[in-house]
Amino acid sequence: MSDLRFTQPVDDDALRDWRDVHNVTIPTHQLSLDDVRDRAGRHHLEVAYLDGVLVGCSTVRPPEKGSRVSTVIARVLADHRRKGIGEELYVRGLYKAWELGAEQIETVVLSSNESGLLFAQKHGFVETERYVLPGETVPWVDMKLAR
């Protein structure tokens, strides 16, 4: 692979990049820059660039107090899928989750994202719940790593 680079977004430009990938891959749940700033304070976020071009982002939600469960989410822009970028984001997210004390890994995928569901299933995730958030129409799929 060419020059694939990952960075934790700390300034507004990088936070906008993270937001742009999120909002393109999850069109039913648009985030503002303030929303992303809030997430950056609670979660571990990364942005991926291939040869200087924005290609993806990830989120690792650390285990909550008293829990050993972490959520790992990898997102890749459609034009850059099937090049190993999602795999890199996912593996980096797993290591970060374990570093944060996770013993169980979960993910969440928009049900209309067929490639995301297939990616999660290929990596050993099984569906645990489907639900629709208030004001939305497309179900979310919670999944748990089974192996």
The pLDDT score that the predictor gives to residue 147 is 66
Correct CATH for 4-145 of 3.20.20.70, 3.40.630.30, 3.40.50.150, 3.40.50.1360: 3.40.630.30
Note the pLDDT tens digit of each residue in 89-115.
999 999 999 999 999 999 999 999 998
Instruction: Write down the pTM of the prediction.
Output: 0.92
Note the pLDDT tens digit of each residue in 44-81.
999 999 999 999 999 999 999 889 999 999 999 999 99
Distances (CA, A) of 58 to 1, 12, 35, 67, 135: 19, 17, 15, 21, 24
Note the pLDDT tens digit of each residue in 129-140.
999 989 889 999
